[in-house]
Chains A and B, each alone.
Chain A
Amino acid sequence: MKYWTLTEADIDRIAVGCGILGTGGGGSTYHGSLRAKALLREGKRIRMVRPADMAPDAQIIGIGGIGAPTVGIEKIAEGGEGVRLMHALERHMGRKVDALLGDEVGGGNGIAPMLTAAMVDLPVVDADGMGRAFPEVQMTTFFIHGQPVQPAALADADGNVLIVTEATTPKMLEKLLRASTIAMGCTALMTTAPMSGDFVRRFGVPHTTSQAWSLGNAVLNARAAKEDPVEAILRQSGGMRLMRGKVTDIARRVSAGFNRGTLTVAGLDEDAGRSIAIEIQNEYLIAREGETIITMVPDLICIVDSETGRAIGTEELRYGLRIDVLSMPAPVLLRSEIALESVGPRAFGYDFDFVPVGISADAPAVPQYEEDA
């Protein structure tokens, strides 16, 4: 089996890429990349493995953070949450876990599984359940395709571990986990039910860590060569630039625990005279130009700084920022009829059907897999 063993430089690239795939949300990659690099310095290893290379009957669990970002920056993880989660599940199931993955590649959760994997020396599967960031647990390709709701588990920094043995629906699981997270001080690590290697190969969004690495690599190389990092992202992603412009208005509101808002971007240079409005619910969901919807969820709307190519989160938006609004086709799995029920515009309360932009293609694995581990 071919592995890709990560270096500190890889972590930097993956962090930049996860920021872009966060589509405005997904949380900061800062704590995760600090921790990942510290683990590598301690001599631990982080090995990635392609989903196709997993044994069909391998047991794989998804790991990710849940909670309020404001709390997470203060009550930082203890570090062993993931190990406790995994061991609790193993005891419950009576069998070992063989590999980990992230349910969400966007933002900090793209790095979260690597930390636990390094501590227990298990591989991380180069796949996730979103190919971007979404706000809720049930919005993964795994749940969409019948991942069992139980057993799921939650662990906090203080040593509490909770196993959910029965939940009626994925949406109910989301509610249970969120309520328990509040009892745990509003920040916790979660895992959903174990999946087989075969299931992940069929229903995971493939090579999204590779994709994050390639995006980050393109940005960092372009910066080092004093070239345009946004052009580099476009070349790498096969996405398109909706507009180069500046933020002219950002209207925000908080409702039902979500940060919502509308962003207005006015075109600059060859886009002068155009204007795009983007609707936000934690992530960038819908882009309109006049009456025309030009990109909609689950296709990705990524906003990056025009000069540096750095992803701009929804919380950083303010008048005058020079940004490029990019659109990337959602992975194949997110565009299916069944997926759109959970992650299409109607799932977010919009009264229209999904119209795709661009051609959906799965990201290739990085060439580093060809090297022997």
Chain B
Amino acid sequence: MLRIGVDVGGTNTDAALLRGTEVLATVKSSTTADVTSGVSAAIRTVLAEAGVAAGSVDAVMIGTTHFLNAVVEGRHLEKVGVLRLCGASTRSLPPMIDWPDTLRPVVDGGAALVGGGVNYDGSEIAPLDGPAIREACRDWRARGIGAVAICSVFALVDPRMENEAAEIVAEEMPEAAISLSHRVGRTGLLPRESATILNASLHTLGRETVGAFRSAFSALGLNCPLYLTQNDGTLMTADFAERYPVFTIASGPTNSMRGAAFLTGLSDAAVIDIGGTTTDIGMLVAGFPRTRSEGAMIGGVPTNFRVPDVYSFGLGGGSIVRPGDAPTVGPDSVGFRLPEKALSFGGDTLTATDIAVAAGLVDLGDRDHLSQITPDFARRMLAQMKASIETVLDRMKPSAEPIPAILVGGGSVLVDGLLEGTSVSLKPDHFGSANAIGAAIAQVSGEVDSVVSLEGTTREKALESVVAEARARAVEAGAAAETVTLAEIEETPLAYLPGNAVRIAAKVIGELRA
């Protein structure tokens, strides 16, 4: 299988071409304002470098920060009508109450809190109020609102009311894009609702962006399926991404960690991604990044997306070094202006890269510019950078046992030798394009998080039904049904409750359907 992985970051667009598990070529190019022309250029280059015809590519996988940037910048977002199915409950905290004041007015199309919703045990809080839903829809429609987010209390226990409400909305607003919370989030009403609203708000941009990718690909002569990588590093089909663009929003770090796993063959390791400005450290567990227990903040909005548990700090190739009695490195950086600013390139700023050059760890620029750096000072600064990585690494590790570390990203030249607390420190080939490789090798997942009452059923049956639902979702997202296996199952009895309610979260993973 011939696959192209693309990672569209804020500064660089990386592409990697793989045949099976063999990396044929990688390229790094600049991200363009329109995104798609940069992606086209990267793909063209990588194909040319490997001498492969576009027509023989079997799949293209794209990881993009495009939708994240839209939210952060508050641009290209649609106004959303919010339907909360809650009965009397939840009214103390209306939708979007914890959104930043800059973003709320851009997205808020008005909220209707109506009869509906269920309790933790699936019993109804209030019957679904059809007439109230119709009334809200007519108002939204009259005001030209084209996107609706529907969120029911305990939708993850019983999603039926959200589905019924969606049917009513579709009757009243046939053109509207509808996002349902039980397909988007996890337990926790406010963050799940916010994620659903963000998804609805990104709907038009999702359709346009995916459409632009599609036409760029046919222009390139690619006639294979297109996938986007999601927050957890797995894939979704372009069709699915059009409906759920919010799932791409935090995929960047995951791609780089998955790429690191692939390049080294390690499934449990620390990944240290050193860029120009920051170092990101995360943990691979069974081949996937360990996720944060708290949800992600997206453009200042608290959501409960599971994103990699990555610790970021200001150390990179461009970090500014200040000599003196207590010399410091970073956290400020010359960033993308390294080629003009760094001493070794004839600039006026002493950077971490200059230290690496002076110490002979990398051959860049002109070492004659670095006569002021004594070998002793270089050694001392390298040790200091290493120590700061080691401290964060220790904070991130699951236990005191030594684990392997994988260094990726252009700045990983700063690290020489074994890091403390690790059994081995690896810097694989293609380490600079780990993120694009991570996109290329991604699998497909399905996830369900639910609170299940065990009254009238058994624990085994409850687990089985949650896993079946996760499988169905994986297949819908593009997985080959026969390859889907259970990756994670979490079972948490609810504190202060008798033993009849349990929260079950399941995740399954499968290979891409050919």
A residues bordering B, Cβ < 8 Å?
31, 34-35, 38, 67-71, 73-79, 115, 157-159, 178, 182, 185-186, 246, 248-249, 254, 257-259, 282, 315-316, 318-322
- Report if B337 contacts A (CB, 8 A): no
Task: Tell me the smallest distance from the CB of A156 to a CB of chain B, in Å.
Answer: 8
Please state if A67 and B496 are interface contacts (CB–CB under 8 Å): yes
Please state if A319 and B188 are interface contacts (CB–CB under 8 Å): no
Task: Tell me the smallest distance from the CB of A350 to a CB of chain B, in Å.
Answer: 21
Determine the distance from Cα of A76 to Cα of B125 in the docked complex, in whole angstroms: 12
- Within 8 Å by CB of B497, from A182, A246, A321, lies A182
Interface bin, chain B? 35 or more
- Given A70-B187, A75-B153, A322-B395: A178 touches B496 (CB 8 Å cut-off): yes
Q: List CB contacts (< 8 Å) of B372-430 with chain A.
A: 394-400
**Taking CB as reference atom, which chain B residue is nearest A77?**
B92
Query: What are 23 A-to-B residue pairs whose CB atoms are below 8 Å?
Result: A31-B93, A38-B93, A69-B495, A70-B187, A71-B451, A71-B494, A73-B189, A75-B119, A76-B93, A78-B88, A78-B89, A79-B92, A157-B90, A158-B87, A159-B88, A178-B496, A185-B121, A186-B494, A248-B399, A257-B496, A318-B398, A320-B395, A321-B395
The 6 tightest CB contacts between A and B, nearest first, are: A79-B92, A157-B89, A185-B119, A76-B90, A320-B395, A68-B494
- Within 8 Å by CB of A70, from B119, B153, B495, lies B495
- Report if B324 contacts A (CB, 8 A): no
Please state if A74 and B494 are interface contacts (CB–CB under 8 Å): no
- Within 8 Å by CB of B93, from A34, A318, A320, lies A34
Task: Tell me the smallest distance from the CB of B191 to a CB of chain A, in Å.
Answer: 9
Determine the distance from Cα of A74 to Cα of B93 in the docked complex, in whole angstroms: 11
Q: Known pairs A35-B93, A186-B501, A320-B396. 13 more at Cβ < 8 A?
A: A31-B92, A68-B496, A69-B495, A71-B494, A75-B117, A76-B89, A76-B92, A77-B92, A78-B90, A185-B121, A254-B495, A258-B495, A321-B395
- Given A38-B97, A248-B400, A319-B397: A76 touches B190 (CB 8 Å cut-off): yes
Name, among B119, B293, B495, the residue most crowded by chain A CB atoms within 10 Å (CB to CB): B495
Q: Mark B109-127, 1 if CB is under 8 A from A, else 0.
A: 0000000010111010110
- Given A248-B400, A259-B495, A316-B293: A70 touches B451 (CB 8 Å cut-off): yes
Determine the distance from Cα of A182 to Cα of B190 in the docked complex, in whole angstroms: 22
- Within 8 Å by CB of A182, from B493, B498, B503, lies B498
**Taking CB as reference atom, which chain B residue is nearest A248?**
B400
- Given A75-B120, A76-B190: A157 touches B495 (CB 8 Å cut-off): no
- Given A157-B90, A158-B89, A321-B395: A74 touches B496 (CB 8 Å cut-off): no
**Taking CB as reference atom, which chain A residue is nearest B153?**
A75
Task: Tell me the smallest distance from the CB of B401 to a CB of chain A, in Å.
Answer: 10
Determine the distance from Cα of A67 to Cα of B89 in the docked complex, in whole angstroms: 15
Q: List CB contacts (< 8 Å) of B195-240 with chain A.
A: none
Task: Tell me the smallest distance from the CB of B450 to a CB of chain A, in Å.
Answer: 11
- Report if B154 contacts A (CB, 8 A): yes
- Report if B464 contacts A (CB, 8 A): no
Determine the distance from Cα of A115 to Cα of B91 in the docked complex, in whole angstroms: 13
Please state if B190 and A254 are interface contacts (CB–CB under 8 Å): no
- Within 8 Å by CB of B120, from A76, A186, A282, lies A186
List the A side residues contacting B348 at CB < 8 Å. none
Please state if A320 and B394 are interface contacts (CB–CB under 8 Å): yes
Determine the distance from Cα of A71 to Cα of B188 in the docked complex, in whole angstroms: 8
List the B side residues contacting A75 at CB < 8 Å. 89-90, 117, 119-120, 125, 153-154, 189
Task: Tell me the smallest distance from the CB of A307 to a CB of chain B, in Å.
Answer: 10
Q: Mark B480-508, 1 if CB is under 8 A from A, else 0.
A: 00000000000011111110010100000
**Taking CB as reference atom, which chain A residue is nearest B394?**
A320
- Given A74-B154, A182-B498: A35 touches B92 (CB 8 Å cut-off): yes
- Report if B98 contacts A (CB, 8 A): yes
Please state if B92 and A74 are interface contacts (CB–CB under 8 Å): no
- Within 8 Å by CB of B399, from A157, A254, A319, lies A319
List the A side residues contacting B503 at CB < 8 Å. 70
- Within 8 Å by CB of B88, from A115, A158, A318, A321, lies A158
Q: List CB contacts (< 8 Å) of B166-195 with chain A.
A: 187-190
Please state if B154 and A70 are interface contacts (CB–CB under 8 Å): no
List the B side residues contacting A319 at CB < 8 Å. 397-400
Determine the distance from Cα of A355 to Cα of B117 in the docked complex, in whole angstroms: 50
**Taking CB as reference atom, which chain B residue is nearest A257?**
B496
Q: List CB contacts (< 8 Å) of B442-458 with chain A.
A: 451
Please state if A78 and B496 are interface contacts (CB–CB under 8 Å): no
**Taking CB as reference atom, which chain B residue is nearest A35?**
B92
- Given A34-B97, A185-B119: A78 touches B497 (CB 8 Å cut-off): no
Task: Tell me the smallest distance from the CB of A321 to a CB of chain B, in Å.
Answer: 7
List the B side residues contacting A157 at CB < 8 Å. 87-90
Task: Tell me the smallest distance from the CB of A292 to a CB of chain B, in Å.
Answer: 24
Q: Mark B143-168, 1 if CB is under 8 A from A, else 0.
A: 00000000001100000000000000
Please state if B399 and A74 are interface contacts (CB–CB under 8 Å): no
Task: Tell me the smallest distance from the CB of B113 to a CB of chain A, in Å.
Answer: 10
Please state if A71 and B89 are interface contacts (CB–CB under 8 Å): no
Task: Tell me the smallest distance from the CB of B302 to a CB of chain A, in Å.
Answer: 9
Name, among A69, A75, A159, A178, the residue most crowded by chain B CB atoms within 10 Å (CB to CB): A75
Please state if A77 and B90 are interface contacts (CB–CB under 8 Å): yes
Task: Tell me the smallest distance from the CB of A83 to a CB of chain B, in Å.
Answer: 11
Determine the distance from Cα of A76 to Cα of B94 in the docked complex, in whole angstroms: 10
